[in-house]
Amino acid sequence: MKKVNVAVVGATGMVGRTFLKVLEERQFPIENVYFFSSKKSAGSTITFAGKNYVVEELTETAFDGKNIQIALFSAGGATSEKFAPIAASKGIIVVDNSAQWRMDPDVPLIVPEVNPEAIKEIKKGIIANPNCSTIQAMVPLKPLYEKYGLKRIVFSTYQAVSGSGVRGVKDLEDGIAGKPNQFYPHPIAFNCLPHIDVFMDNGYTKEEMKMINETKKIFNDDSIKVTATTVRVPVRGAHSESINVEFNKPFELEDVVEAIKNTEGVVLVDNPAKDEYPLAVDAEGHDEVFVGRIRRDFSVDNGINLWVVADNIRKGAATNAVQIAELLVKNDLV
């Protein structure tokens, strides 16, 4: 496979560090790699594939003279807003993990198992990585969308503190040790916070609106009705989701289970008789989406309930972004 020059922007954050692991594990075809961060973390050393690299400060000229083809960004919305267009203007394709560009009609929003064809619609040199809680839900819903159509989805999430980066993990650890929370507005230890990202005027959080809007964009279908309640729970890594789905068409439950089981990137864990169902502690550190508790919803004509768990830093962020980069290479787009 052709080798490419890659930049990792936000290399020292939680997702950034996972980018490195995933690039190595998946043997992404790297020729040269460059690491960038804010001024604060610049100068630190990163070990990648057995070699040491010095992290460079991200500036407007930082990409120059390096012949970078793909930049994986995970440095927050403000950094993406400013630097993704700069990178793109230099011919670099940006895969951006922030929310900044996701709903831009000229920016593809991609889950590689779901809408890989969107890779062909790159218009401004930027591809967006969807929100973590959206990504993991899309993977098992894809085959069901194709077979039955998705009429309506009700999401209730159980999201890990790693989604807030090191600050979230520290708040949980501090809370368990009896120390006060510093990042979240309320204690997260022994508690559930129905509050992820900021509140919007309509009463929903931005996280909830991401799930609602990104689902429609990824399936390229505004007819899908979606609502969501997103909740932070005292779990370290991996988000769990209770998903209630109504299809447009009737179904046989065994066909639904079979379709999910055969979906790329999914591991079916669904044997209640043996107490087997997806669990956050089992999903942590893995790239797959774990699906179980699949059962008919008797309260509606064509509905099911399911329970979907994935590592939010891997499939929900770094792994999905690296998979998008792989699509770029495979499709000769870099």
Judged by the rule CB under 8 A, the positions of this chain that interact with a second copy are 152-154, 156, 158, 176, 185-187, 190-195, 199, 202-205, 212, 225-227, 229, 231, 233-236, 240, 242, 244, 272-273, 275, 277-281, 292-300, 303, 305, 307
Choose between 10 and 168: whose C-beta lies nearer to a second copy.
Answer: 168
The answer to whether 182 is annotated as binding is no
Pairing relationship of beta strands 126-128 and 93-96 according to DSSP bridges: parallel
* DSSP H helical ranges for 46-155: 77-89, 132-148
Q: Which of 186, 192, 195, 239 is catalytic?
A: 239
The answer to whether 232 is annotated as binding is yes
* C-alpha closest to that of 68 among 108, 103, 32, 37: 32
Distance CA 116, CA 59 (A): 31
Distance CA 323, CA 309 (A): 19
Q: How far is the CB of 284 from a second copy (least distance, A)?
A: 9
The answer to whether 236 is annotated as binding is no
Q: How far is the CB of 18 from a second copy (least distance, A)?
A: 18
Choose between 304 and 322: whose C-beta lies nearer to a second copy.
Answer: 304
Ramachandran assignment for 203, one of left (phi > 0), alpha (psi -120 to 50 degrees), beta (any other): left
The answer to whether 45 is annotated as binding is no
192 belongs to the catalytic site: no
Distance CA 21, CA 49 (A): 9
Q: Output the six-digit token pair for 220.
A: 């390229």
The answer to whether 15 is annotated as binding is yes
Choose between 49 and 200: whose C-beta lies nearer to a second copy.
Answer: 200
Q: How far is the CB of 248 from a second copy (least distance, A)?
A: 14
* DSSP H helical ranges for 37-165: 77-89, 132-148
Torsion on CA atoms 263, 266, 267, 271, rounded to nearest 10 = -70
Pairing relationship of beta strands 56-57 and 30-37 according to DSSP bridges: parallel
Residue 77 φ then ψ, to 5°? -65, -40
Q: How far is the CB of 227 from a second copy (least distance, A)?
A: 4
Q: Output the six-digit token pair for 260.
A: 């999910």
The answer to whether 163 is annotated as binding is yes
Q: How far is the CB of 164 from a second copy (least distance, A)?
A: 15
Choose between 252 and 275: whose C-beta lies nearer to a second copy.
Answer: 275
Residues within the annotated binding site for substrate? Answer: 159, 232
Residues within the annotated binding site? Answer: 12-15, 40-41, 102, 159, 162-163, 232, 312
Residues within the annotated binding site for phosphate? Answer: 102
Residues within the annotated binding site for NADP(+)? Answer: 12-15, 40-41, 162-163, 312
Annotated catalytic sites, by residue?
A: 132, 239
